Every structure is written in structure tokens, then in C-alpha cells.
Structure 1
Amino acid sequence: MTTMYGIKNCDTIKKARKWLDDAGVDYQFHDYKKDGLPEALVDQWLDELGWEALINKRGTTWRKLADDLKDNMNTTNARQVMLDNPSIIKRPLLDTGAQKVLGFKADEYSSLFAG
């Protein structure tokens, strides 16, 4: 089962969900704010993707972090920041079971779900 992780009111999530719905892809949506964010899941993502890929440095959540925290970001700090502020995680995070894809690009989704 494909799972999309994110925040319901995010514009990029809305676009990605519309794409999946229009393409007839069966998926489940996991909303960080409503469904929570298990520590084990964060640890798995950090191991597979790395904090540099997971942290959205273009969003307001990143900009609101203390400069010393941003300057000294590492896996340990990123883990805690993600657990405290799930909105800092790049969206969407799509887990097909076989692979994980960060962000939404229609052509990437088309390749992923071709056939």
C-alpha cells in the first residue's frame, strides 16, 4: 500500500493527492498533525534519506529556527526538530513500499506508477 505523508492543507500535498486520485492510484494519507509522527518512522527516514533531504530549508518553519540550531544541524538535531515540528519535513513524502519519493513532480509520479 502506498502511503503519502504530509499536512492536509499544504498546497503541494493537494496537488499530489489530486494527481494520485486522477491517476486512480490507491493510497493512504497520513497527516502529521492529525495522525502524529512515530519516532521509529523518523528514524527509518533519516537512515534511508538523510536529514539533508528531509528538512525543508525553504519553509517558514526552518526560518523560525534559532540560527545556532540551523548552523549546527546534524542527524540528531534534525530528528528532534522533525519530531517537534513535523511541518519542517519536505512534502509530500510518498512511500510506495519499494521506494520513497520526496516532493511532487507529475512526471516523476507518472514514471513511478507507469504500468
Structure 2
Amino acid sequence: MKKTLIIGASTNPSRYAYIAAHRLKGYGHPIVPLGLRAGEVAGEKILTEKVALDDIDTVTLYVGPRNQPEYYDYILSLKPKRVIFNPGTENDELENLLREEGIQPLEACTLVMLSIGQY
């Protein structure tokens, strides 16, 4: 199972980050939700601070490119195997930084990847 950090986590059921949190847990993947507002999603407390985390396999992004720079150093420090850029989050600058550190950037959709068994 792939421990996944969800950046842009939300308590709003209409948000894709919310749906992804529930689907990831449903497929047995441990999640760590990180968002702007405290709350709970899929039975997990939403972190509002960039805390040190261990064993993050995947980071899945639900924040647009304009809001991503504040997460660059944090994502790199976690040394995930891959970062998924969900539709609307694509960012060449961050993708290049990831490649330089040996981290795989993927322009994909977490929900589709789960549904077709490619997560």
C-alpha cells in the first residue's frame, strides 16, 4: 500500500481532494491530508502545518500552480517516489525540480488511476 500525502485536502464532499481521500482509504492506502483549514476527511485529521512525515510514497496535488511554490521545499524534503499532478495542477517548474531530485512527476488523475488499477 502506498502512503499518500494529499495536498489541498478538504472537508467539502464536492471537492476532488475529498473524494480522493475516501477512495484512497477504500483501496487500502494510508493517507495524510494537508489543507488550509482544520477538519477531518475519511476519518483522518487534516493537517494545517507542514510537519515532518516518514514513508510518504506518493504526493497527490489538489492545489493550482499559483499556490504550489510554498510547498516545493516541503515536498522535496519528504522524498516521495512520485508526485501526481491532478488535472489543473500541472506545473513545469515543480516537475523539473522533482526530476532533478529523482522523484517521478505524473500528470494524471488519482481517481482514474485507482479505478483502472494503475495506482
Select the structure that is richer in strand.
Answer: 2
Query: Computing the radius of gyration over CA atoms, which structure comes out larger, 1 or 2?
Result: 1
Select the structure that is richer in helix.
Answer: 1
TM-score range, shorter chain: 0.3 to 0.5
TM-score using structure 1 length: 0.41
TM-score using structure 2 length: 0.40
